[in-house]
Amino acid sequence: MKIGNIEIDSRTAGLAPMAGVADMAFRELCCEYGATYVVSEMVSSKGLTMCDRKSKKLLVLSDKERPAAAQIFGSDPKIMAQSARECLAFSPDVIDINMGCPAPKIAGNGGGSALLKDPVLAEKIIKAVVSAVDIPVTVKIRTGWDSEHINAVEMAKRAENAGAAAITVHGRTKEQMYAPPVDTKTIALVKKSVSIPVIANGDVTDGLSAAKMLEEINCDYILVGRGALGRPWVFSQISAYLKHEIIMPEPPVSEQMRVMVKHIRRICEYKGESVGIREARKHAAWYIRGIRGAAAYRKEVDSLSSIEELERLAFKIAAENA
């Protein structure tokens, strides 16, 4: 697959943008396990143009996570174009426009999936951003606002017409949020309707589900979101199956705990231990999901106050699940 001049192996998968989760520490870790493309947490276009420090921090990209896209959201073409130019200071490889986020605080203010209800404005935004930068611009959408308004094909055609280099489709409507099922048929129709690469997203959790999505849709690439939470090694599993039809098992619990500690140590390194440990609680809960005794371990996770406590808990979990 090519996004502009950027070549990405279609027999691999990338990390989808996830607010509050897909930060630099997690993106780097996923790349170490084989993710071949990553997208930043979504950043407010208004925040960027007002020089908001928190917004700019979300755009910091390292050399360990390439190629990488900076994702922006908003509803004003001029502000979106200006924010895209602001992103260039952080050297992203791609600018991605979020037109799919279903969160009320985003969609309720006209951004994210709200733009599915206004394809004309969406096209204006894409044109403005494409004209503002000299790197590829991509767009992420959902299948539609609700089951009565499925318009992903129209959105994709407008995105292509506006100059988008690729389009990602999450196979659910805004109203579905993250409830099943994933609508692969609509993504397949999008693929047939445009000539730019189509990237599919939704419920890929391993090599088999990745292969099934590629076969059903004939898409160019896959992004994994929630399927990577507490499981960054999923990218290795996907590549092994897509390239060699090898089904890789889950790592032993001891290895899972080693990765968890490595991940949270990196968060603490980048954000400080106080913030890192607060964020560690949600990540640790994902890492221990499905492990024998997880319910009891979660209570200990909720009371973590230092990296040393986390390490002791990880050792305990590994020993009790050897």
Beta strands in the chain (DSSP E): 2-3, 6-7, 13-15, 38-39, 43-44, 68-73, 94-99, 137-144, 166-173, 198-201, 221-224
Question: For residue 224, what are the β-bridge partners?
Answer: 15
Give one word for 291, left, alpha or beta, with left for phi > 0 and alpha for psi -120 to 50: beta
User: Which residues in the chain come in under a pLDDT of 70?
Assistant: none
Tell me the CA distances in angstroms from 27 to 69, 100, 196, 267, 288, one per residue in order. Answer: 11, 20, 25, 11, 20
Question: What was the pLDDT predicted at 283?
Answer: 95
- Separation between Cα atoms, residue 72 and residue 300, nearest integer Å: 36
Residue showing tokens 């499981």:
231
Question: What was the pLDDT predicted at 178?
Answer: 94
Question: What was the pLDDT predicted at 238?
Answer: 98
**R_g of the chain, CA atoms, integer Å:** 19
Under 8 Å between Cβ of 280 and 302:
no
Tell me the CA end-to-end span of the chain in Å, nearest whole number.
41
**Rounded to two decimals, what is the model's pTM?**
0.96
Contacts from 74-78 at CB under 8 Å and sequence distance 24+?
Answer: 74/44, 74/45, 74/46, 74/111, 74/125, 75/109, 75/110, 75/111, 75/114, 75/115, 75/121, 75/125, 76/45, 76/46, 76/125, 77/121, 77/124, 77/125, 77/127, 77/128, 77/129, 78/128
Sign (positive or negative) of CA dihedral 199, 205, 206, 211: negative
Under 8 Å between Cβ of 268 and 301:
no
* Domain-wise residue ranges, the chain: 2-244, 253-320
**Which amino acid, 270?**
Y
Tell me, rounded to whole angstroms, the distance of Cα 321 from its chain centroid.
31
Question: What was the pLDDT predicted at 322?
Answer: 87
76: nearest Cα among 110, 48, 42: 110
Helix (H) or strand (E) holding 22: none
Question: What was the pLDDT predicted at 51?
Answer: 86
2-244 has which CATH code? 3.20.20.70
Compute φ and ψ for 204, nearest 5 degrees. Answer: -85, 125
Instruction: Tell me yes or no: is domain 253-320 CATH 1.10.10.10.
Output: no
Single out the catalytic residue among 30, 87, 101, 219. Answer: 101
Under 8 Å between Cβ of 39 and 16:
yes
31 as an active site residue: the answer is no
- Separation between Cα atoms, residue 195 and residue 181, nearest integer Å: 26
